[in-house]
Chains A and B, each alone.
Chain A
Amino acid sequence: MEPLTSLQIVGYVFMQFIPVWVGMLVIFALSIMTKNKTGLYGKLFDSPIGMVGFALVLFWVLTAIFADAIMTHAALETASGMKNKLPGTPLRGATEGDFQWYLFGGDNLARDVFSRMVAGSRIVLIIAPAATLFAFMVGITLGLPAGYFGGRTDTVLSFLANLVLAFPVILLFYLLVTPEIRAAGAEIRIWGGNTWVTSIPNILAAILFLFPILFLLILFQSRFFTRPMLRNILIAGTLLAGAWMYSGLAFNADPLGLLGMDPNLLNIFVSVVFVNSPTVFRIVRGLALDIQTRDYVAAAQTRGEGPWYIMLWEILPNARGPLIVDFCLRIGYTTILLGTLGFFGLGLSPESPDWGSTINEGRKLLTLYPHPALIPALALMSMVLGLNLLADGLREQSLKD
């Protein structure tokens, strides 16, 4: 069989992404039709930059969702004779059911570059937003009291945040994401016959993963303590779900056996959350300092509302604009950080299809065979660009109010 021409490659790639195009069309059509009713999200569709950003982000989100349908081969599948083959090379020894080409060529282990890029999007799009969300939970739970109470709370917390911020990120990764550090510590027997090592990443995980639960508990308690019935239900629900997820994610010992995190992945996740939270802390602290001088805060204080009610139900909702913008930017930054980790071969296993690791794999033969590194590099860039443009569009639109 003849290799595909450039135009044919574009055509076949377009065909593979059909579920994504359909999804994008539907979401865009619905969003534009209802844009007057959906607030800030709807206003996004008045700004060309915001729309381009949203389209790029949506493209990758849908790619991650439909990854199984888009991938032409399995991410780890190797084919003999396909090593470093150029884009559009027909698959040697392909049987009837196989996809007949390697659309973006083969990498140095004869795996399909296109499928690995698609599979990588799934990994990146799960870790980056989740890690950012955790960083926000930590940053908000600590930043609000630091800004609102000030004084010694603020001094101590700010000093700790500055301590982490003064650490060069790359050094922190090299210290925190190593196989040695995962082994350093005593083994403790916990429930269900599982063991837990008191290593630094595990301890950090045990601390950091508490914050979302803490955040929700305070959130419900401060608002609904006057309605004990509702409060009890909400708190019991949070505690139950929280304890289940906590035991699965932080201790890798889910009693139901559903949730779990590979120690490598946990290590990366914790490091990225740890690096991001101080910056979020600083932003939230600054916003809290600014907003607490407003009249509605004074009104709430006069009404006799508790400090946590004011922080979580008066200050936080009014700080949402800058926080949403920063959330978008931060997902992009986290994606870059994950790529950096992959680039240095830290954390995720070398055969993982995430973009950083594939760039690292591909760069060794870059001048001879550019495609294995170039494709994930462009994917990463387009996704971060989308997030940055989306953040810019959101900022512009939220400032217009």
Chain B
Amino acid sequence: MGRFILRRTGVMLLTALCLTFIVFFMTNLYPNLEKLAKTEGNMRMTDEQVESWLVNRGYTQNVFLKYGQWLGVMPSPKIEVDGEIHTRCSRPGVPDEEIGNYCGVLQGNFGFSTVFKGEVSDIIAKRLALTGWLMLFVLIVMVPMALVIGILAGMREGSRTDRSLSTFAIATTATPEYVSGVIFVVLFASSRTGLSPILHEWGWIEKKTLFKGLASTAANDITFANFTLPVMALALYGVGYIARMTRASMAEVMTAQYIRTARLKGVSFRNIVLKHALRNALIAPFTVIMLQIPWLLTGVVIVETLFNYKGFGWTLVQAAGNNDIELLLGVSVVAVLVVLVTQLISDIGYVFLNPRIRVS
């Protein structure tokens, strides 16, 4: 078990290095740097001026060197221009003597965001916390719903309950967040269409709309009105997949010998499901749920954009859209780490939960 975890962690670190290098390479392509020079310096810079701006800030070095500096395993060069020292370690208000040699990700220095004018690590920490709340509520809604649907459908395979629940699960996997989000807003958050005008007319709701179509206020204060729609849009797309996995796993367990034995012994169906089948049927969905988290990341970006919730996904869009290279790199590192760590946990968890698959 120990060696297995160690090997998996090693592969994970290697993957993380490769992926961050790819992201680094792609964000540091020359057209991106040129755009950066023009937005940071002057829009009307000539090609020579752009070139010297980039040289002065060390952007024209070899990409491997730059990656090493960004990572913090190589010293950042100090380039002196007109008595000023340019290095990636320098910050506004910090005297030149205090600037260190190594200032990369390993030293906790993710760089400086050009769009939000702040430390990338601070921005990401703040935005990640907001997205954390979103994810928390999504998981609270999604996981129990999916498990209940899956178990109810899988305990009597081929029954009418199974068929209707399975069709529902399929329908949710066909509804990406940007579709369900649009439908939800039209149905529940528009003062002109859907349910809200009817409910308002009947006097059931005080406000013009049932829910809010924007979640920007949820950053300070999460309420039922402003957080329901984004959470539902995200949860709905994920429910179907987990439910189908649970159903398959449950259906398989229900045909096992020991279930038949229990049934022949006269154990009630309720007890068979709850006491005998459930525990074994939940091993497979565990991995699926863990692997769902990185998958939710795309959904988070869509939902946060659609509902204007200024979390991690929204930051990604802002960073990518405004060519904020350092911020985009920071966001990518976090995203890649989330994916890799959940993969690791799901691998280890699967082995840990399933005594039949102890690692050979």
| A interface residues (Cβ-Cβ under 8 A, vs B) | 49, 159, 162-163, 166-171, 174-176, 178, 180-181, 183-184, 200, 332, 336, 339-340, 343-344, 356, 359, 362-363, 366-368, 370, 373-374, 377-378, 380-381, 384-385, 387-389, 392
Contact = CB atoms under 8 A, between A and B. Distances in A.
B30 interface: yes
B23 A175 contact: yes
A174 B317 CA distance: 8
B178 A171 contact: no
A366 B186 contact: yes
A374 B186 contact: yes
A385 B171 contact: yes
B179 A163 contact: no
B171 A180 contact: no
Interface of B: 11, 15, 18-19, 22-23, 26-27, 29-32, 35, 163, 166-167, 170-171, 173-176, 178-179, 182-183, 185-186, 189-193, 209, 213, 294, 297-298, 301-302, 305-306, 313, 316-317, 320, 323, 328, 331-332, 335-336, 339-340, 343
A181 B26 contact: yes
- Closest 9 interchain pairs by CB? A385-B174, A180-B31, A384-B174, A174-B320, A184-B29, A370-B186, A367-B190, A377-B179, A170-B298
A166 B170 contact: no
Given A168-B294, A343-B302, A388 B170 contact: yes
Contacts of B317: 174, 344
A374 B182 contact: yes
A168 B185 contact: no
A176 B193 CA distance: 38
Which secondary structure dominates chain B's binding surface?
Answer: helix
A167 B339 CA distance: 8
A131 to B, nearest CB: 17
Contact of B335 (A49, A168, A343, A356): A168
B179 A359 contact: yes
A168 B336 contact: yes
A351 B80 CA distance: 48
A373 B316 CA distance: 24
A77 to B, nearest CB: 24
A178 B317 CA distance: 13
Contact of A366 (B15, B213, B331): B213
A168 B298 contact: yes
B170 to A, nearest CB: 5
Given A166-B343, A339-B178, A385-B171, A377 B183 contact: yes
B115 to A, nearest CB: 15
Contacts of B297: 168, 170
B179 A381 contact: yes
Given A166-B343, A344-B317, A366-B185, A336 B176 contact: yes
Contacts of A49: 163, 167
Contacts of B27: 175
Contact of B31 (A171, A183, A389): A183
A184 B26 CA distance: 10
B18 A163 contact: yes
A171 B182 contact: no
A362 B186 CA distance: 12
Contacts of B171: 385, 388
A348 B336 CA distance: 27
Contacts of A183: 31
Contacts of B339: 166-168
A388 B328 CA distance: 35
B167 A366 contact: no
B161 to A, nearest CB: 15
A184 B179 CA distance: 34
Given A171-B332, A183-B31, A166 B179 contact: no
Given A166-B19, A180-B323, A370-B185, 12 more contacts: A163-B18, A167-B19, A167-B336, A168-B339, A174-B328, A175-B26, A180-B32, A370-B182, A374-B186, A381-B179, A385-B174, A388-B173
A163 B23 CA distance: 12
A180 B29 contact: yes
A359 B19 contact: no
Contacts of B192: 367-368, 370
B185 to A, nearest CB: 5
Nearest to B186: A370
Nearest to B299: A170
Among B35, B176, B298, max chain A CB count under 10 A is at B176
A293 B167 CA distance: 35
A389 B163 CA distance: 12
A367 B179 contact: no
Nearest to B14: A159
B29 A340 contact: no
A362 B18 CA distance: 39
